[in-house]
Amino acid sequence: MVQRPEFRIKEIGGNSATSIHTFLAGQWSVILVRIAILLCAFAVYAGTAYASSASGSGDPISEDKNTQDKVVYLSFDDGPGNHTREVLDILRKEKVLATFFVLGEQAERYPELIRGLVEDGHALGNHTFNHQYKQLYSDFKVFWKQIKQTEEVLERITGFRPNLVRAPGGTYGHFDQSYFDLLQLGGYTVMDWNVDSGDSKRKGVPAKEILSNSTKVPAGARSVIVLMHDGGAHAETVKALPGIIKYYRDHGYRFDTIKSTDQPVQFRVHPDGKYKARKAPGKAWIAEHVEANATLWLASKKLKVEVGLAAATLQPGEFRMEGQRIMVPLRTFMKKFGGSTRWDSETRTAIAVWKERTIHADSVSGTLTTTGAIETGVVQSQGGTIWVPLRELLEQMGLRVNSLTSNEAEWAVKAGNSRSISAMNSIFKYKMI
């Protein structure tokens, strides 16, 4: 999202003894300079606005500026599978981001698809390991074990742990209040949906019916989460997807990814109490597993980076803190700021392009380079994802860190073409970048 900071022009003081001709000349110079600055600012704003919106910046839109905002979250369950690649191709062509709730066993089977969806900027959610209702809903400990099992698989593949969860079959009729409470206590956000495509109601649901179901927006809803599937036999969902995207685009919705910080959309607990006999875990188990797990997320902060007038936010888990370095995934970071990245398999080098800069991240030697500038031993490769230190990456982009601040919720980094003394003091204070 592009931030719109208040634009101020510092007044230039004049000498009262200056002749009228010099005075007028000086005033005209100031006016012309102001006009030039404003034109440049507008041009930069237009360019960065396009780059940020196209790359799916994660910043929330403030209510006072977007009271009429309508957003749709396309979500896909049970993958990665037979049709995930086709779904990704369509989303890439349409320049739309989505959220994938994946199964651990499928992620192990298709790690390259997991890497692909993350590299394209899509969000990753946890859908348990094997989707077996009887196991998952017999005992919360089993559900928890599968969440952790899938989480570990995804960390091996991507380098981060998603704390966004969707229950197989949805929470209605499966969760009692203890499931909700314990997952929240453990630092997870459980997300259901409010529009069901119906693509899993029976075998072979035709694309026309899926399209119709997917566009039945609840009355008054301005935020829509559409449930679809990319695993198993869902070729008809692929056929319906372009029409679904067109419908929401034509009706003024913007597309976004679901984040763990979003307000949860959850079904109510089933009134029949189907699982009343199900035993809740004991206090000792909860303290050892659930409460201890919460520190993975509660100790984390968001990372907000501003480059000129463009800004993007990386959620906890989407970046890493290593000693005194902030590490970011290269492809994801560049995409958020309108850059591009490709992989050279022969040299095992990621090549990023941002404006006139070409940056090489060599996973073998660990070097991060542009013409005439080399940073050694900084590049890391984990699970097919290239990680680089934020400060070094910004410098390779021709930028300098102008400020680094921190509060309980986030790190905030501002970068530009110059660095002030106050910026140096800020960086020295935190020693994190």
Please state, in angstroms and rounded to a whole number, the distance separating the CA atoms of residues 379 and 349.
Answer: 10
Backbone angles phi, psi at 269, to 5 degrees: -70, 135
CB-based burial of residue 134 (10 Å sphere; 0-12 exposed, 13-18 middle, 19+ buried)?
A: exposed
Please state, in angstroms and rounded to a whole number, the distance separating the CA atoms of residues 82 and 79.
Answer: 8
Per the residue annotation, which of 122, 229, 234, 360 is the catalytic one? Answer: 229
Per the residue annotation, which of 77, 192, 196, 362 is the catalytic one? Answer: 77
Please state, in angstroms and rounded to a whole number, the distance separating the CA atoms of residues 279 and 41.
Answer: 62
Q: For residue 376, give the nearest of 360, 399, 354 by alpha carbon.
A: 360
Long-range CB contact pairs, 263-267, < 8 A, 24+: 264/189, 264/190, 264/191, 265/191, 265/192, 265/193, 265/194, 265/223, 265/225, 266/171, 266/180, 266/190, 266/191, 266/192, 267/170, 267/171, 267/172, 267/175, 267/192
Question: 77 an active-site residue?
Answer: yes
The CA R_g of the chain, rounded to the nearest whole Å, is 25
Angle at 317 between CA 194 and CA 369, to 5 degrees: 125
Number of C-alpha atoms within 13 angstroms, CB side, residue 414?
16
300-311 burial by CB neighbour count: b if 16+ within 10 A, else e?
A: bbbbbbbbbbbb
Question: What 8-state DSSP symbol labels residue 291?
Answer: I
What are the residue numbers of the active site? Answer: 77, 229
